[in-house]
Structure 1
Amino acid sequence: MTFIGLTWDHPRGYNALAETARRVNAGRVQPLIHWNKQPLEGFESAPIRDLAERNDLLVMDHPHIGEAVAEDCFWALEDLYPAEQLALWRRDSVGPSAASYHWDGRTWALPLDVATQVMARRADRLPEPPESWDEIVALAARLPVAQSLAGPHAVLTLMSMVAGAGGCVGGEDFLPVAEGAAALETMHRLHARRPTASETLNPIGLLEAMARGGDIALVPLVFGYVTYAALGHAPQVVRFSDTLRQGGGAGGVIGGTGIAFSRRSRPTPELLDHIASLLAAPTQVEVFPTFGGQPSARAAWRDAGVNDAWGDFYRGTLATAETALLRPRFDGYIAFQTAAAQCVRLALERREEPETTLAALRTLWRLARQKARGHLDDRKG
């Protein structure tokens, strides 16, 4: 039989999987695996249960784990792979990428791709990355500095700033008042000087604007896309560097994707071996970077050849990836994230007092946790 997988339609999400499928399918009468693709927004808008019922494999983001487990969408990987193998993947993966798919005592996906919110700049306009938020605010008076605010990114930017300052994200209150208010005040100051319409651009749109024009010189926090760090993709190269952190503060919010087996699938040894091969060092170091992916294996992030080919993207952001902030994953978090991001955008537009915004976010957070089925990130529900 041919197993059907679903991934996202950006080259980073599809090309490496298509290449590895081509290799494993070569010479077979019936292909082992076929990958379909859809826009990233499709994973946000469609219930994960519907996607799991139509596909054997899903490339998905870790904040969906709570909902997926509540809906009994996936096989726990402890039922498919030896514990020793799962432990090796956890050991060899960057930062919390593997841990992000471990939920309520079991593992629900394998880390396939890693991205974090990092700093992006045009090196021809800003040779060195700024070293403080005060410096960034001052730069915005003479250079176009944008924030990543579209979709869920307004609240993710806020979360990254709070975590970088050493504040705790989560618990009963979602964000601490001191670090949250300071971060919102900085966001207000940057928003007042933002490049026209930059608040409507998703991360790819922001990086496109940086690489193909002069509209944006710096984005302090944006999910990194390695493509823009390489020569030849666009007229200008984007340089990526670590996020701003104080003391023991966390790096930017972690993103990326994992690969999960839906309950509808009946994995064969051949399929299990193929999926395991995606996390093997040769695939992670050689195939994924060559075909535009962002590997999960630490070996690839440290590899000199990979970094030479991709403008030191990995070396320049590894410290952030290793300390990245793991988002909440409880059932209902995605809906909270959407509402919270809209709350932050409206607050910036209205120049709302930070304490008012934090109170509104706290209300949304507590309501979401009350409705969650099962496990919460910091305590049992």
Structure 2
Amino acid sequence: MGGDGNGGVELRVLCWDHPRCVDPVRAAAAAWQRIHPEVRIEVGARPLAAFNDQPVTEIASTADLLFVDHPMVGTVADTQAVIPLENLLDAEVLAALTAGSIGNSQESYVWQERQWATAVDAACQVAVMDERRLSHVSPVPKSWAELLDLARRVPGSVAIPLYPSDAVLSLVSMSADLRACDAADAEEMWPVEAIATLRELAGLADPRSFLMNPPQLLDLMSTGRADDVPLYSPLLFGYTNYQRPTARGRRLSFGAPPAFGDRPAAVLGGAGLAVSAFSGHPSDAAAFAAWMSGTETQRDVVLPAGGQPSSRAVWVDPEADAVVGGFFSGTRSTIESSHLRPRDAWWPAYQEAAGLALVQALRIGAAPDAIHDDLNRLLAIARDKELTR
């Protein structure tokens, strides 16, 4: 994170370890270095689980640019582990990125009226299916009742990632869905009906669900033995890689998740590039982040390299949609109406604790009321810790 000894600039980017992140960054780094030969960019990666749960403060000193999840922004604002981009980029640049992003992708990194990252990658929770094989046994489930009916009628046909962070985020989506259709108290974070539905699904789903995060389930559905893989998953973070015409194995299809009401709701995912407070070249780092988030780079570099652009112009482009086999058109309405997770400083630690507690309860089939009370007990502890910190 300094000069290379010859007057140049060295930057290190810390990704999460999936081709959807690493490959576009490598392609962008090579393109940027052709434009700016004085800059050298090293690309590293950390596990997806660490991206979801590891505090940014633990990695801020290891790279100039860090991929972060939007619920982390409250923590980074408190700790000043990264630099607010208003200190490094012109207001016009930030405004253009916000106006050009899909859904709330760029705005998700705003906290306390400061921009803490640029949206490079966009995603939300969606459904995934092996459409051809599913059509032999069932229509695509539109409601949670239809989904549970499929899971009962065709054992092993349904799976859902139940790694702790994924389990709790699926419950966030289901809870947001109930609140959106006025089926739950707007102030209730964890409606019992959502918990009961997830509990029943966990008992009916492929038992390997407890061992998998989204990429692992998608790998199983696309490359596993045809008579031994699920046909459908109602909630996971979408990956264009598995729907592209160039996908290895069976091509999967992504679409809107089941709903409790007329319109499904889901939480926003994706990833943003933040500039570390420890960077020796913060202005250079911010310039690269802004360029990588811009529409032209998203279309001409990120998309062809297997990335999942945050630029709305790419999502609505029919030619880009063809590159991803219809992924954008199939999921655009879901991401444009997706919900932000809490971004308060207490949320990341609570998400980790709640996820562990939720998965343990789902494994033993605990009563929905008991799960509800336990999640709220942990929530009160997390908020009290933040108030007394």
> TM-score by structure 2 length?
0.88
Q: 2:18: which partner in 1?
A: 10
Q: Give the C-alpha shift of residue 255 in structure 1.
A: 1.1
**Residue 307 (structure 2) pairs with residue 293 (structure 1):** yes
- Structure 2 unmatched ranges of 5 or more: 1-8
Q: 1:227: which partner in 2?
A: 241
**Residue 271 (structure 2) pairs with residue 263 (structure 1):** no
Q: Give the C-alpha shift of residue 45 in structure 1.
A: 5.9
Q: Give the C-alpha shift of residue 38 in structure 1.
A: 2.2
Match of 1:120 among 104, 114, 128: 128
Partners of 1:212 and 1:97 in 2: CA distance: 31
Match of 2:170 among 139, 147, 157: 157
**Residue 162 (structure 2) pairs with residue 142 (structure 1):** no
Q: Give the C-alpha shift of residue 31 in structure 1.
A: 3.1
**Residue 360 (structure 2) pairs with residue 346 (structure 1):** yes
Partners of 2:176 and 2:35 in 1: CA distance: 50
Q: Give the C-alpha shift of residue 134 in structure 1.
A: 1.0
Q: 2:194: which partner in 1?
A: 183
Q: 1:109: which partner in 2?
A: 117
**Residue 143 (structure 2) pairs with residue 129 (structure 1):** no
Partners of 1:71 and 1:350 in 2: CA distance: 38
Q: Secondary structure at the match of 2:72?
A: helix
Q: 2:91: which partner in 1?
A: 83
CA RMSD of aligned residues (A): 2.4
User: Contact 1:224 / 1:240 at 8 angstroms: preserved in 2?
Assistant: yes
Q: Secondary structure at the match of 1:118?
A: strand
Partners of 1:170 and 1:18 in 2: CA distance: 46
Q: 2:223: which partner in 1?
A: 212
User: Contact 1:32 / 1:271 at 8 angstroms: preserved in 2?
Assistant: no
Q: Give the C-alpha shift of residue 152 in structure 1.
A: 0.6
What code does the residue aligned with 1:142 have?
Answer: V
- Counterparts in 2 of 1:270 and 1:357: CA distance versus 1, 3 Å: closer
Partners of 2:259 and 2:99 in 1: CA distance: 24
What code does the residue aligned with 1:197 have?
Answer: R
Q: Secondary structure at the match of 2:133?
A: coil
User: Contact 1:113 / 1:293 at 8 angstroms: preserved in 2?
Assistant: yes
Partners of 1:301 and 1:217 in 2: CA distance: 26
Q: Secondary structure at the match of 1:237?
A: coil
Q: Give the C-alpha shift of residue 27 in structure 1.
A: 7.8
What code does the residue aligned with 1:7 have?
Answer: C
Q: 2:41: which partner in 1?
A: 33
Q: Secondary structure at the match of 1:166?
A: helix
What code does the residue aligned with 2:150 have?
Answer: L
Q: 2:4: which partner in 1?
A: none
Partners of 1:236 and 1:114 in 2: CA distance: 23
Q: More displaced, 113-122 or 165-174? A: 165-174
Q: Give the C-alpha shift of residue 285 in structure 1.
A: 1.6
Partners of 2:249 and 2:27 in 1: CA distance: 27
Q: More displaced, 275-284 or 24-33? A: 24-33
Q: Give the C-alpha shift of residue 232 in structure 1.
A: 4.0
Partners of 2:195 and 2:282 in 1: CA distance: 50
- Counterparts in 2 of 1:363 and 1:171: CA distance versus 1, 3 Å: farther
**Residue 204 (structure 2) pairs with residue 193 (structure 1):** yes
Partners of 2:187 and 2:112 in 1: CA distance: 19
**Residue 245 (structure 2) pairs with residue 237 (structure 1):** no
What code does the residue aligned with 1:152 have?
Answer: S
4+ long deviations beyond 6 Å: 168-172
Q: More displaced, 163-172 or 328-337? A: 163-172
Q: More displaced, 155-164 or 245-254? A: 245-254
Q: Secondary structure at the match of 2:39?
A: coil
Q: More displaced, 46-55 or 108-117? A: 46-55
Partners of 2:70 and 2:174 in 1: CA distance: 20
What code does the residue aligned with 2:214 have?
Answer: P
Partners of 1:232 and 1:88 in 2: CA distance: 32
User: Contact 1:145 / 1:216 at 8 angstroms: preserved in 2?
Assistant: yes
- Counterparts in 2 of 1:14 and 1:373: CA distance versus 1, 3 Å: farther
Match of 2:380 among 366, 376, 381: 366
Q: 1:377: which partner in 2?
A: none
Partners of 2:199 and 2:54 in 1: CA distance: 33
Q: Give the C-alpha shift of residue 276 in structure 1.
A: 2.1
Q: 1:53: which partner in 2?
A: 61
* Within-5 A mapping of 1:163-178: 163-166=176-179, 173-175=188-190
- Counterparts in 2 of 1:161 and 1:23: CA distance versus 1, 3 Å: same
What code does the residue aligned with 2:179 have?
Answer: G
Q: More displaced, 271-280 or 345-354? A: 271-280
Partners of 2:37 and 2:331 in 1: CA distance: 43
User: Contact 2:120 / 2:273 at 8 angstroms: preserved in 1?
Assistant: yes
User: Contact 1:221 / 1:243 at 8 angstroms: preserved in 2?
Assistant: yes
- Counterparts in 2 of 1:4 and 1:181: CA distance versus 1, 3 Å: same
- Counterparts in 2 of 1:249 and 1:103: CA distance versus 1, 3 Å: farther
What code does the residue aligned with 2:374 have?
Answer: A
Q: Secondary structure at the match of 1:329?
A: coil
> What count of residue pairs does the alignment treat as equivalent?
371
